Structure formats: structure tokens, C-alpha cells
Amino acid sequence: MRVMSFNLLCFGEGENIMKKRRGIAVEKIQELQPDLLGVQEATPEWMKWLKAKLKDYDFVGVGRDNGKNKGEYSAIFYLHDKYTPISSGTFWLSQTPEKPSMGWDAACKRVCTWAIFEEKSTGKRLAHMNTHLDHRGPEARKNGIDLILKKALKLDAYPLVVTGDFNLLEGSEEYEQLMAGTLKDSKFLAEDTMDTGTFHHFGKSGDVKVIIDYVLVNDKFKPSLYKVETQGVDGRPVSDHYPVYSDMEPL
């Protein structure tokens, strides 16, 4: 199965505004055809577009501002003919994770959406978590990671994959904190892999390799391929982040 993480970029400027990229973003998703897709920065406008265009998919998730339909989603899309969500939810990366709230020194409300899926053909179950950590607050990231790791531990009986824009660099102290629990980076587990930046800021990052988007798994998944999809559509990048995906097998 293929699991993908994709920061869509909520708005954008000039030629890179959402309305000028939304078509090629969907085209890229349909080209790669992930079984499960964790999106970040999915505004209500993005969600309306994705729901209308991704006919093979349903989703779980809520808007981070009110727990319903306002603010960005960290939604999980899934192939509805292949999977059934058995249970799902969203928690806030804050001191009050059960309700819409801002945590610690964060600049924004941040959430993690999770689901347990059952594969219709086999009855086997797996779990997926998807998140977007804060871009400014180190305390918010640190404590957010703790909340994510606690939830991952609760889902560890299942093959578990965690996707997201973590806003932390590979090899950093925060990255090591993230790797200290049950999760490992599919990039370093897959035999077919690559070492490429995931955030390019429409070329403004230059030659600096910025890796902040990850596909993580517990030991009940075996990744065979990890890829940063640097190829855009018709020469145009689909977002300021590259989609990242991993092909994996539940054990």
C-alpha cells in the first residue's frame, strides 16, 4: 500500500495562489494514487475542492478552529472502495487536547487527526495519524510530539503510519525526540529511498536541503520505497512542499 503526506499550501501568491494550483494538485494525487493521504494546510476551500474532485476517496478530519468546518484540516483521505474507517478522531496539540485550543507558544491552533481502518478484502486493520506541528513555537512542537507519541503508543497494536509536516529538521533534537518512541522514519527503513529536501518554497530555498515532512511507521509496517515527488505538473510545482510517500506492507 502507498501512504502519502502532502502540504497543499493554504493560499499562495501570484502564479502560486491556490486557485491556480488546485487542479494540478489533484492531478498529482490521482497520478500517485495513494491508499491513504494525509494533507496539511487544507483550508475549507481546499477541502471543498478535494471532496469534489477526488471521487475515489472519502476523508476523516475536522477544521482546527472550531472542531467542525472552520480553519485548516489535517485530514486523512482514504480509498473508500478499499478501506472502512472503524474509528477516528482529532485532538488538539495543547494543554486541552479534547477541544479547539492553542497550545503553549504556538502561533496557531494545531491538531492531529487519526483513524483505524479496516481493509475490506481481508478484514485486516491498520492505523494512520496525520499532523502539522507549529512553525514558530519550540515548546508547542516539543509538547505536541509528546501528545503524538502517547497516541501512537495507544495505537501500537496495529500497523501504524504517521504523516505530517512536523516543522522540524531531520537530525535535530526535536527529530530525535520524535524517533525515541515507537515510530521510525520510512526514509531509513526502505531499501529504495532517496535523500531530498521536502520544502522548496517555490525555489526560494535555493540549494539548502530542508527536510520537514515525514512518513513514519511502527515496527508492524515494512516500507519498501520512500520518495519525495519533486516532479510537478507541466513544469509547475504543485505546492511549496513536495509530496512525500512510502510504499509499505503491513506485517
> Could you report the per-residue pLDDT of 124-168, keeping only the tens digit for each?
999 999 999 999 999 999 999 999 999 999 999 999 999 999 999
> Could you report the per-residue pLDDT of 6-18, keeping only the tens digit for each?
999 999 999 999 9
Task: Break the chain down into helix, strand, coil percent, rounded to 5.
Answer: 25, 35, 45
Domains of the chain: 2-250 (3.60.10.10)
Note the pLDDT of residue 206.
Answer: 77
> Could you report the per-residue pLDDT of 168-224, keeping only the tens digit for each?
999 999 999 999 999 999 999 999 999 999 999 998 887 789 999 999 999 999 999
The answer to whether the pTM exceeds 0.75 is: yes
> Could you report the per-residue pLDDT of 20-56, keeping only the tens digit for each?
999 999 999 999 999 999 999 999 999 999 999 999 9
Q: Does residue 149 sit in helix, strand or coil? A: helix
Note the pLDDT of residue 57.
Answer: 98
Residues with Cβ within 8 Å of residue 201, at least 6 apart in sequence: 210, 240
Per the CB < 8 A criterion, the answer to whether 34 and 245 are in contact is: yes
Tell me the C-alpha distance between 144 and 160, whole Å.
18
> Could you report the per-residue pLDDT of 67-98, keeping only the tens digit for each?
999 999 999 999 999 999 999 999 999 999 99
Cα–Cα distances in angstroms (integers) from residue 151 to residues 37, 97, 129, 160, in the given order:
19, 11, 9, 11
